[in-house]
Amino acid sequence: MKESYAYEIIKKEGFEEGFGEGIQKGELARARKAVIEVLEVNLAFVPLDVVRKLNMINDIHILETLIKKAVKTANVDEFKEVLNKMEVF
């Protein structure tokens, strides 16, 4: 299965899967990837600024919430508004 461009950015910015402490990073990377993939299905395009903001989130619960929000989002601006309201930045 081919990885998306956005997921490649996640990996390049240091969120690769690993062992021990890396397991948590792997879970975070998978959750970030899930958010991005849902947005890609719904919106066909995920802006780089959204990917970068997702990369800054290190709380699996917030990412899980964002997956659910991404399913329901109607457009990029709506998701950006939700992302900014998460108060993680």
pLDDT digits (tens, 9 = 90+) for 30-84: 999 999 999 999 999 999 999 999 999 999 999 999 999 999 999 999 999 999 9
- Cβ(34)–Cβ(67) under 8 Å? yes
This prediction's pTM: 0.73
3-state secondary structure 42-64: HHCCCCHHHHHHHHCCCCHHHHH
Q: Which two tokens stand for residue 75?
A: 């457009």
Q: Which residues contact 31 (CB under 8 A, 6 or more apart)?
A: 60, 63, 64, 67
